[in-house]
Structure 1
Amino acid sequence: MIIRFSVCNYKVFKDETIFSFVATNYDKKTREDENVAHIESPSLRLLKNAVVYGANASGKTKLIDAFAFMRYFVVNSSKDAASSEEIDTDPFRLNTESELAPSSFELMFLIGEKLYRYGFEVTRKKVVTEWLYVQEKKREYELFYRGEDGVVSFDKKKFAAWQLIINANLVRNNALFITTLAQFNDELGIEVVTYFKENLKIISGLNEAGYKGMILSKLVDSDYKKRVMEFLNFADLGIMDVSRREIKTDFDDSDKVPQDIKEMIINDIQSQNLFTKHQVYDAEHAPADSRDFLMRKDESHGTQKFFYLTGPILESLMNGYTLVVDELDSRLHPNLVTRLISLFNSKEANPNNAQLIFNTHNSNLLDSKLLRRDQIWFVDKNMYGESKLYSLSDIKGIRKDEQFEQNYINGIYGGVPYLDDFINVRIDKTLNHENEK
């Protein structure tokens, strides 16, 4: 589970921005058994989901971009293809100092009973600093620290193999030390990089292409398909069955197409032949037959999105992963989104403490009976283009039984656009222009 994520000097976040999943004592009596995972060792109370609100261009998506950048760089920085590339970071560019300064990222997370704190600072040219700590018996220990001079400090007796990697000059300036360790089969490196790759899932609610394969490749598994059908019935989509008709998609062994591109092409081809089955009724509305519908042609965009979204949601719930979704509610009914949030809050549906993080404009979710104050976050941008992230529990004087939705719409919590009387201004200008003719 994620405990805390922080980012500094990346896109719209000029100053350090902290996204915490530690449940506050302020809300301790509110939905404590449902919305909070109680971790025995180390002793923690962690939120199972969090929602981020904000005006257009305030930074909601940029926050998820920060998650995505950190994950991608940890997983891929040491690959040969990246040896001569610049690091794809994007510092805050509306300030003369920050645009030349490094961007910083840090994630605190659990692997079993081990609590890790890992982070790095990067410019487009190089990794400036990098660090990894582990907490044992309520005390934090440094596993390694990579300084601005490129020197990596660590326990040379405990991690003797690391020195061999450094002496062989295998750690590039534009690559992370942790990724390099994983590349050379170091146990700790593999553990941390695997966490980012497998346990942290980041998807777009606006484009299903990136996660179609999660469900398409597993429909042949009868147990998995049963779970999928339960999920579709839960959404009341009227679908009796889903089937995929195989198409040969072999690539020539001599081709040089990257594996991830191959998989995307194969998934797109297979999705073209995905069928749903619907009940047909006679004149008396008695079941008579069934009809096959082509998913991409006959089903609504909302149904298609929910079907493909079923893959990462089921995977997260089954394995206890953290799922981060940009625009989760796009093309989905508000009631359905509410039920999805409830799934992650549920002890029965979410026994492995998966987490759901998403952004939205849907104010219907601001229900004190669904979410606690510490699960509701806002992004607000000031006149200098700098975004600030804060939770509802950070605002003093907010009662747990308030009308969160109405207060948010009225601008009491911030995170909404300031809309001047621009409609009348445009009309006035148009009328004046017409009168001049």
Structure 2
Amino acid sequence: MIIDFSCTNFRSFKDKAEFTMKADALKSKVDNTFEADLVLGNSVSLLKTAVVYGANASGKSNFIKAFLAFTWLIKNSHKFELDKPKINCYEPFELDVNTQKFPVNFKISFIIDHIKYDYEVSFDAKVVVHEKLDFSPKGQISNMFERKLTETQDYDVIQLGKNLTDKRIPKKVFKNQLYLSKFGIDIPHQQLTPVFRYLSNINVWNAYDKFSISELANEISVLISQKENENLKNRLSKLIRISDTKIESIASKELKREDFRLPNVIPDEIANEFFENNKVKTFSYHKLFDGKKEVGIKEFDFNKKASTGTKVLFALGGKILQTLDSGGVIVFDELDNSLHPKLCKFLVRLFNSKISNPRNAQLIFATHEVTLLDKDVFRKDQIWFAQKNNFGSSEMYCANEFEGLRDDTNFELWYRSGKFGGNPKIKEIEFIYE
């Protein structure tokens, strides 16, 4: 479970932007929270969901992109070549001459198997300048490893903590690679590999990006085609059916090569790649009628016949249901894209419910849809805002910082009236046409 996350000098965030999933000591909507047990009988109260609002270009999407850049770096830095040191996700704040070449910093606190971890990394365009992993196996903070910069051209040295088991591991890492990345690809380790796996499995998706949705839809298609995921397929069918799509069920099948009838002139290499990327196809099933009499079921190619909104629901809904089943963290930008507000609200409630979320999976998302600001869905500590200051730098703040705000307050009315900030300041017509 995620406890805290922060980013500094990343895209529109010049100063440190701090975000937390810690729950306040509120008595309302207790189902929206859970107690995460720690060692020695301790615990921390965490939120299951959090939402980020803000005007266009306020920084809310950049906050989601910070999650994406962080997880991308963990998953991919092991591939960086020594002679090609560029770190592609280095995007510093560019509206201040003092920060344009400063390092980007990410820090996250999380829990695995009742133990709290803190991982921090800073990097610029070519090298990692700081990397540190702490944990609290006995209730007190202990270092697992810390990067020590060297004057050599190629590598840094890693100092291992006293509570890290099995120290027979490499203690050098190329300057443009994360040390943690080694333990998900090259080197198995009893303590470090679970940390890599947890952080790299934080799912970050942009619901407005057609390519991203298509990629996710393909992933869900493959999942529900497998027999061991029959329950996921059935739940996704029910979700699509209750969304008034007139679809009775969905299913995915693995097609045979001859089903594609590819022209012989296509080179084998291209044909093989096409088949591997398209061999699983999703179908939807609708009631067939003779007048007003139901006479059977009609099969359709889901990708060709389904509406854009239904395709988005298939992709996002499938990933959400999978996360609810397995636990973990999922992060969305523009969750409301192509989905009805009532449906978005229902998806959020799936996370807040003990029935549908027994593993305490967490959902973090950014949206413009103000009708989701429902006091019956969110507590005030679950609502966040992004806003730019006069210097073009984004800032993050939580609704619980506002005096006089109660959990029975009409959050939507407060937001529309500008009491929270985070609303676009649209200039007058006369100003535009003067």
Asked if TM exceeds 0.5, the reply is: yes
User: What secondary structure is seen at the aligned counterpart in 2 of 1:384?
Assistant: coil
CA shift digits 1:284-307 (9 cap, x unpaired): x33223322332232210011101
CA shift digits 1:27-57 (9 cap, x unpaired): x11101x100112324011000000000001
1:377 correspondence with 2:384: yes
Q: Which residue of 1 is the match for residue 351 of structure 2?
A: 344
- Superposed, 1:203-218 pairs within 5 Å as 203-206=205-208, 207=210, 208-218=213-223
Match of 2:161 among 155, 158, 163: 155
* 1:161/1:266 CA distance change after superposition, 3 Å: farther
User: What secondary structure is seen at the aligned counterpart in 1 of 2:71?
Assistant: helix
Cα offset, 1:112, TM superposition = 1.3
User: AA paired with 1:247?
Assistant: L
Q: Which residue of 2 is the match for residue 302 of structure 1?
A: 309
User: What secondary structure is seen at the aligned counterpart in 1 of 2:285?
Assistant: strand
Gaps of 5+ in 1: 430-437
Cα offset, 1:178, TM superposition = 1.3
Cα offset, 1:10, TM superposition = 0.5
Equivalent-residue separation in structure 1 for 2:60 and 2:216 (angstroms)? 21
* 1:336/1:157 CA distance change after superposition, 3 Å: closer
Q: Which residue of 2 is the match for residue 92 of structure 1?
A: 93
Cα offset, 1:180, TM superposition = 2.3
Percent identity of the aligned residues?
A: 32
Conserved? CA contact 1:83–1:174, under 8 Å? no
User: AA paired with 1:11?
Assistant: R
- Superposed, 1:189-268 pairs within 5 Å as 189-198=192-201, 200-206=202-208, 207=210, 208-220=213-225, 221=227, 222-248=230-256
* 1:376/1:82 CA distance change after superposition, 3 Å: farther
Q: Which residue of 2 is the match for residue 177 of structure 1?
A: 179
Cα offset, 1:158, TM superposition = 5.0
* 1:256/1:302 CA distance change after superposition, 3 Å: closer
Aligned length: 410
Equivalent-residue separation in structure 2 for 1:94 and 1:49 (angstroms)? 32
Cα offset, 1:84, TM superposition = 2.1
Q: Which residue of 2 is the match for residue 312 of structure 1?
A: 319
CA shift digits 1:179-212 (9 cap, x unpaired): 12442222223111111223x1111112312312
Q: Which residue of 2 is the match for residue 281 of structure 1?
A: 289
User: AA paired with 2:107?
Assistant: E
* 1:55/1:39 CA distance change after superposition, 3 Å: same
User: AA paired with 2:223?
Assistant: K
Q: Which residue of 2 is the match for residue 269 of structure 1?
A: 278
Conserved? CA contact 2:241–2:249, under 8 Å? no
CA shift digits 1:374-403 (9 cap, x unpaired): 100000001211000011002222122221
Q: Which residue of 2 is the match for residue 37 of structure 1?
A: 34
Equivalent-residue separation in structure 1 for 2:126 and 2:6 (angstroms)? 22
Q: Which residue of 2 is the match for residue 79 of structure 1?
A: 79
Q: Which residue of 2 is the match for residue 367 of structure 1?
A: 374
Cα offset, 1:346, TM superposition = 0.1
Q: TM-score, normalised by structure 2?
A: 0.88
Cα offset, 1:177, TM superposition = 1.2
Equivalent-residue separation in structure 2 for 1:249 and 1:204 (angstroms)? 32
Equivalent-residue separation in structure 2 for 1:247 and 1:417 (angstroms)? 49
Q: TM-score, normalised by structure 1?
A: 0.87
Q: Which residue of 1 is the match for residue 421 of structure 2?
A: 414
User: AA paired with 1:216?
Assistant: S
Equivalent-residue separation in structure 1 for 2:314 and 2:65 (angstroms)? 24
Gaps of 5+ in 2: 151-155, 259-267
User: AA paired with 2:194?
Assistant: E
Equivalent-residue separation in structure 2 for 1:203 and 1:347 (angstroms)? 24
